[in-house]
Structure 1
């Protein structure tokens, strides 16, 4: 990045929460995120031992398919990709329940910061607040002028009705755009956060919103949904395996396999679970009109 040379900042953590990750120090990259960084990117050698959360889903799936009374023709890798597909579907359809936040402080004169890869890959939004005026308010300054106070929260906002307040906010946004004070951001090379305008002082807060599935804080309704959706995907795979043969040789004419039935069940259950998630567990947003 020749435009910025070596002036790439290291995000210094301002605040953190238990759902963001394991505390590792005062730098954002020192944290251990709860997100599975290999989601949908695993191969056979990666699945050696299931984590506690994944193991409970695996046991649920095997039990619902009849194990250990009957053999289930699925290995650990196939069950793991079923779990990954269910988590990906949940992240897509119910993003609010996998939302995490991180806050770091800026360094004066540096507006490019390297983010942890799991944050950059799943970044939703960035808030970088800038004051309308760069200078601090002190007696005799312009901010104490009555006409300027009219545009700030130190003045007459408490006498506004809703429509006047919204109009004033729109006007202030236009003024900030014209004066170059509107804070904006962009992700460069899927790794570096570039914020505008350049921070003039240290300790200006930047808030990051990103998606990270954390099984330790997941509501039980979503855990149940994940178990059932994983089961549906597992039925789909198992149905494809058993569907290659109609019967197995054996006494009394052999054993009939249920591959086609499993495939049909899997399709119906996946559709029903998506409908349940979008209409009951995670209903659409409602809007009030003033």
Structure 2
């Protein structure tokens, strides 16, 4: 009996070299590739207008801070005059009226450190608790927070003044610091951020390892909340730094003025009987006022953007 004929198998290399079908190119060439951004002329124009609207006032402020009082009205507002007086204006700003500008600057820093810093700390604690703990009335707290975000601060200024007047706290720094401690938007932002940034399983693992609630918060949760903390801090710092209406109705003593009220008082000197016009110092002081805010945004921009994006997309 003859042996069966051996079967011939195709080599492995022959199978691996089988031709592959190339995907059909999408219509439109490079512009049709998925994930590639398309340029929008209307959007570019709108962005350019917004950028122009933002930068032109800053350019005007810097240019006019380099002028003397006499050259402010004799030169074009968006270009320099003959004399570059920026450094002399800065020196005069800090020395005018016995250096009261420095006092106003220290007052503003005090309001920011105590008011904005306290508001950030309370927002972090409240947002973490609302995100990671269940308790009766949580839905009601959520409704109150959302309602508080929708209420403008100016609507509460007069009732706040009447309440602080009864307690004898008006015309003191506490009349500005205590209301600044409440930031409904910061609380809501930390609530959303903590819900997405901190895994519940990680907290449970820390508790199983014997960590207490306070230790778990400071060792585990707080480092993960850093981007959100920076974001809330920036919002509260800007709100406290630029706060004008609340100090206006609470503070009457110029020694406790923040920069916003102090510069407004300097600006109003020209309209008073026998008052001195110092518009060059008002403009220079305004320039010095925004420099710390610009520096804070530039230094913390990376954390600020990541904090805003957190919670907007769920994995």
**TM-score, normalised with respect to structure 1:** 0.26
Q: Which has the larger radius of gyration?
A: 2
**TM-score, normalised with respect to structure 2:** 0.24
Larger % of helix: which? 2
